[in-house]
Structures are given as structure tokens and as C-alpha cells.
A and B are shown apart, each in its own frame.
Chain A
Amino acid sequence: MSEGLISLSNVSRFYEMGGETIKALDGVDLTINKNEYVAVIGASGSGKSTMMNILGCLDKPTGGDYVLNGTAVSSMADNQLSSIRNKEIGFIFQSFNLLGRATALANVIQPLIYRGEGRRKRKQMAMDALERVGLKGREGHLPNQLSGGQRQRVAIARALVTNPTIILADEPTGNLDSSTTVEILALFDDLIKNGHTIIVVTHEHDIAQRCKRAITISDGKIISDKVK
């Protein structure tokens, strides 16, 4: 396989803590292609979130190279990373991370503002995204007026609305009950069908089962990479 959508080569992330070096990521090589559905599994503290942060350009690797969609991002400045995050990445977090004082619609619109989309167009785009996640009619609700599952759908709509290259989900169902989890997973299946690329960190086996590829991390290293 040649250059993929995502390519990490020998990427590491070290933390210095009181004279001790914590190797959160330690020489990771990874290639992910367009429209892949990848699960990242591993014990707590193994480095899954650290890898997601680097993939999402929220964090910079201590060493190694990261090429995203043909661009070398490991050496970019903060402002360029902001722009990459805006254009290429959609984040879905365990704790939803919605803007608490903004309505569902305003939350979905937010990344489009940073992109400089026009007022009418971005509203239309946000409405469409909310409809795709089945929240039509809830656009005026504040996050605290929505259920956990609905909040995560808003977050998914917000991640989708910019039509990102990859969607990164760090334990997206960790705070949801099993039936809501199933709904969200169905939504992910849908996204894959529509050509999106999803990387999802999970502790749950049924989620890993659904993915076509499962990467296992232990102590900052990839110890297995299985494609079904």
C-alpha cells in the first residue's frame, strides 16, 4: 500500500514528569486509507487518546512524521494546525463537548464560522447535518435540554458539517446506555456508507466487531493491526 490518507511514521509522544520520561506513544507506524472504519483498542493509559490528539492535530508529536491528506503536519505552526483541524478533522468526544450556552444549531454552525462560510449557507448546512443525525426540530434546544444520545448526535452533526477528511471519535459511547450506543453506531455505519473515514477509540467489543480494522495499542506501541 502506498501513501494513505493518514500516514504516521515512527511517531512518538513523550512527557517529562519529574525527571522521568513517560512514553505515551513510542514509535508508531500507521497508514489509514480513505473510507476505512478503524477501531483503536487497548488498556487504559496505553496511549489511545494521545494518538487521537496527534491524529487530530491538537497535539504535536515529539518525534516522527505525520502526513495527513498529502500534507506534512508534524512541523506546522499553530495557526496552520487550527485551519487543518477546521477543514480536515471532525471530533467526537466521550463527554460531547458542546458549547453549553449555544443551541444545537449554533453548535453545529460554530466550525463553519471559523471557515468563513456565509450566514445563510452555514445555517442551511447545519440544518442539513442535524437532519442527517435525526435531530430535525431540535435545532433550537440548548444542550441541557437534550438527552445524552441527542447531545452526541449534535456533536456528530458538528463533526460532519464541515465534510472532514477524517472523523475522530474518542470513546463516543462511553457516556451512553446500550440502546443509545446502538443508535450512534448505526449512524457511524451510515457515515461509512457515505464515504467518510472514521477512527474510533473504544473499550467495547461490539463496537470493535463492527469495524473492518482493529488496532491494538499497548504501552504506546501498536501490538496488533487486524483487518477483517
Chain B
Amino acid sequence: MSIMRHTESLILAVVSLRANLMRSILTTLGIIVGVASVIAVISIMQGFAHSITQQFENMGSNTVIVRPYVSFKDQLSGKTAQLTVNDLDAIGRYIEGIDIIIPAIDQRGVRLSYKGQNTTLQFVRGTVTGYDDMNNHYPENGRFMIPSDDAFSRKVIVLGADNRKDLDLPETPAGEYVQVNSQWYKVVGEMEKTDAFLGFSQDNVAFIPFQNAVAIMREQAQRNMFFMIKATNLDDSTVLIAQIERLLRKRHKIRKGDKDDFQIDTSEQLKEQFEGILDTMTLVVAAIVGVSLLVGGIGIMNIMLVSVTERTREIGICKALGATRSDILIQFLAEAVALCLLGGLVGIAIGFGLGKMVGALVPSLPEIVVPLWAILLSLGFSSAVGVLFGIVPASKAANLDPIQALHYE
């Protein structure tokens, strides 16, 4: 029986919202802004998270990456760290459980030119045969590096998927000659497209033989060198990592108690790090949303107090007709919640639209989807705000004295 009385309250609440639709929407502006931003940000971040996950899935979960590492503090005091080709050989020779190990060097900000067209690459990566298998990233046409390219330091280059468009290269660029920082290279292949990373294209890169990169970068080479290792079995990756660490510490003559001058990550760990960053971003967004919901809630409370005053007489009538305190309380709470839910729904729609807009502006972002949990969470929060900020006006209404309320002008 009491449930029926309360569904009645909800219906009445919706009716009274409709009567003041414009005012209701203006009142819930705070909630609308809060919910819209949370939905937009969540949907965009979901897109990013999705592309990051894709990124590491390509790499395969049994990949270990070794790179030189100096803490930021030590960097400031001029320390450097490096890996050498000898380290590579030693790891390959002495450590068990390695399927393949591949060296790579990235040179950043390299200029690539073709017939007067220029583009600045994110990096040129010097690497060897097998890189394509390890990263699950293959040429769309032409070929990838072959062993003899590296052995003879052949001036060959495999382009990233963006280069052809940027340099007006022919449909099949293999066979053309391009300049890498003014050295001539022959194009032998073009890589397939990859998923964007944090919304940025990953295809503005090129690949040359490892030895060429070493030669170009000279003393810089060892600081920028990293190894990609595919383990035969990832279950004992901790053992593998421990072994590599012990070997490299010995080779780099690091004393007991001193820090490693290299860093070993599994692709799993990298993924976790990025997820950590995403979590932090989520927290920041949550804080912003919290503030806007608070502001929204105060707006709701204000308008509800106005509404209680406006309807004092109506409340008196209802009390005379037999409404109890809790009938009135629930009626006004229902109204506050309905108001907030209205704001929440409008906010979800706007947030979804914003997400779509960003999705359209950043083409590399995957399809924007608003996860169901975000919608439910928004609606849950909106109702909670309604209850929280509706309780004061509602109890004010419930506690009105019937005679005074009836005589209110």
C-alpha cells in the first residue's frame, strides 16, 4: 500500500517537472555539466584505453623489453646509461628460455625527403629481421628487413603507413629512393597501418637496418639501444628477468646496493603502467565531477526551497486531506530526484555527443562507446545528489503546520 502511495508521488513529481520544464532544465545545469563531462571523458578515455590495450596485444604478452635507464635525478647530474651489442650477444648466449632477442635503436626527429617533399618522422627505428614477427606488424607491400640488409649495412628503408601520403610517393613505393637526413635509401617495403596510441598515429615512422642506425648515431647509439626479447615461456618471466638483471649488473660492473642502469619491463607491466596513468586521469576527472555535482546539488536545493515556499498552500491542502509527514517528504524527495535524473539524462546525451565529436575530430580514435556502467553510475550519482540536497527542502515541506500552510498567501 505504501509503495503505491510512493509511485504516485513519483508520477506527481514528473507532472510537476513538466509544468516547469524550462526552469527544471536550468536548475539542473550543474548536474548536466557534471554528468556530460564525465560521460564525454569516460567515453574518450575508453577509446584511448582500448587503443593502448591493442598496442600491447600486438606486442604479445610474452615480450620482455630491456632499455638503458637513468633516474631523472641522475640525469640532471649528467649520468648516462647504455646498452651495447656485446650485452645483446651475452644475453642471447648465456640466458636460457629466450626464443628470440632483437636489438633496436630509435632516432627521433629524423627528416625524410622524396622529390622535394619533406616530413619529420617521429623516429627512425634501426632493427633487424624478426622485428615484424615479434610485434605482429608486417609490411603491407614489399618486404621487411632481411638478414643480409644488416650484414652489409644496406641502405634500405621500410616506410611506415603514413609516409606515402606525406611524401606523395607512388602507390607501391618499393624501388623509390628517399633521403634520410640527406643520405639516400632505397624503399623496399611499406608497413601496414597500426592502431593509434593515445590518439596519435603510430605510422609516422620508418625502419632501417640496425647497423645503419648504429653508424648514424655513433656514440648516441648505445644510449638509445633497447632489446626486445621473446621468452619461450612467460610463466617464469620473473626468473628470466632476474637472470638478465644479474648478467647485466655483472657486465656493467654495478656494485652491490647500487641501482641498475637499465630497466627490464614485460609488456604486461607496461600495460599496467599505462592503466595506472589512466586511473589517475579518472580520479582527476572524478574530482572535477564531484565539484560540479556539488554545485548542481546546491542549485537543486535552492530551487526546491523556492518550490516549497511557492506550494505552501498546496502542502497545507494535502495535509488537510490526510497526507502524512512522510507522504510530503517523499513527494518532494521524489521531485528532487526526478529533477536530478532529468539533468543526468540530458547530461548523458550531451556527453555522448561531445565524445562523438572528439571521436570525429581524432580519426585514429576507435568507435566512441559510452559504457553502461558509466551511464548507471551517472544516474546513480544524480539520484544521490537529489536525495542529499532534496532532504532539507523536503523536510521543510513535511514539517509545515497545516493551518499556517492553508492560510499562506
**Most B-side CB within 10 Å, residue of A59, A78, A87:** A78
Chain B residues closer than 8 Å to A98, beta-carbon distance: 317
Q: Is the CB of A101 within 8 A of B320?
A: no
Chain A residues closer than 8 Å to B15, beta-carbon distance: 101
User: A68-76, A109-117, A195-203, A210-218: which lies at the B interface?
Assistant: A109-117
**Alpha-carbon distance A181/B219, docked complex (angstroms):** 109
Chain B residues 382 to 409 lying within 8 A of chain A, measured CB to CB, are 402-403, 406
* Smallest Cβ-Cβ distance to A162: which chain B residue: B322
**Alpha-carbon distance A118/B5, docked complex (angstroms):** 10
**Alpha-carbon distance A113/B1, docked complex (angstroms):** 10
User: B112-120, B172-180, B187-195, B323-331: which lies at the A interface?
Assistant: B323-331
B4 within 8 A of A: yes
A18 within 8 A of B: no
Q: Select which of A100, A101, A111 is within 8 A of B322 by beta carbon.
A: A111
**Alpha-carbon distance A96/B89, docked complex (angstroms):** 98
Take A101-B16, A114-B327, A116-B4 as given contacts and tell me if A82 and B403 are in contact as well, using a CB distance cutoff of 8 Å.
Answer: no
Take A78-B325, A99-B314, A100-B314 as given contacts and tell me if A56 and B320 are in contact as well, using a CB distance cutoff of 8 Å.
Answer: yes
**Alpha-carbon distance A85/B19, docked complex (angstroms):** 29
Q: Is the CB of B5 within 8 A of A59?
A: no
Chain A residues closer than 8 Å to B316, beta-carbon distance: 97
Chain B residues 320 to 367 lying within 8 A of chain A, measured CB to CB, are 320-327
* Smallest Cβ-Cβ distance to A78: which chain B residue: B325
Chain A residues 32 to 71 lying within 8 A of chain B, measured CB to CB, are 53, 56, 58-59
A86 within 8 A of B: yes
Per the CB 8 Å criterion, the residue count for chain A at the interface is: 27
Q: Is the CB of B325 within 8 A of A97?
A: no
Q: Select which of B1, B317, B403 is within 8 A of A97 by beta carbon.
A: B317
B318 within 8 A of A: yes
**Alpha-carbon distance A85/B327, docked complex (angstroms):** 14
Chain B residues closer than 8 Å to A188, beta-carbon distance: none
Q: Select which of A82, A99, A101, A115 is within 8 A of B319 by beta carbon.
A: A82
Q: Is the CB of A97 within 8 A of B4?
A: no
**Alpha-carbon distance A86/B321, docked complex (angstroms):** 6
Q: Is the CB of B321 within 8 A of A79?
A: no
Take A58-B402, A58-B403, A101-B16 as given contacts and tell me if A114 and B313 are in contact as well, using a CB distance cutoff of 8 Å.
Answer: no
**Alpha-carbon distance A101/B4, docked complex (angstroms):** 21
Q: Select which of B1, B313, B318, B402 is within 8 A of A116 by beta carbon.
A: B1
Q: Select which of A53, A79, A86, A111 is within 8 A of B325 by beta carbon.
A: A79
Chain B residues closer than 8 Å to A101, beta-carbon distance: 15-16, 19
Q: Select which of A59, A110, A116, A118 is within 8 A of B321 by beta carbon.
A: A110
Chain A residues closer than 8 Å to B323, beta-carbon distance: 82, 114
Contact mask A149-184 → B, CB, 8 Å, 1/0?
Answer: 000000000100010000000000000000000000
**Alpha-carbon distance A159/B4, docked complex (angstroms):** 22
**Alpha-carbon distance A110/B8, docked complex (angstroms):** 10
Q: Is the CB of A114 within 8 A of B322?
A: yes
Chain B residues closer than 8 Å to A113, beta-carbon distance: 5, 8
Take A101-B16, A113-B5, A116-B4 as given contacts and tell me if A58 and B320 are in contact as well, using a CB distance cutoff of 8 Å.
Answer: yes
Q: Is the CB of B406 within 8 A of A85?
A: no
Chain B residues 1 to 45 lying within 8 A of chain A, measured CB to CB, are 1-2, 4-5, 8, 15-16, 19
Tell me how far the C-beta of A177 lies from the nearest C-beta in chain B, rounded to whole angstroms: 23
Chain A residues closer than 8 Å to B406, beta-carbon distance: 58, 93, 97
Take A85-B322, A115-B322 as given contacts and tell me if A99 and B8 are in contact as well, using a CB distance cutoff of 8 Å.
Answer: no
**Alpha-carbon distance A91/B327, docked complex (angstroms):** 19
Q: Select which of B19, B314, B322, B402 is within 8 A of A86 by beta carbon.
A: B322
**Alpha-carbon distance A79/B326, docked complex (angstroms):** 9
Chain B interface residues toward A at CB < 8 A: 1-2, 4-5, 8, 15-16, 19, 313-314, 316-327, 402-403, 406
20 contacts between A and B (CB under 8 A): A53-B403, A58-B319, A78-B324, A78-B325, A82-B319, A82-B322, A82-B327, A85-B319, A85-B320, A85-B321, A86-B322, A97-B313, A97-B317, A101-B15, A101-B16, A110-B318, A111-B321, A113-B5, A114-B321, A116-B5
List of 9 A-B pairs having minimum Cβ-Cβ separation, nearest first: A86-B322, A116-B1, A114-B322, A111-B321, A82-B324, A85-B322, A58-B402, A79-B324, A97-B317
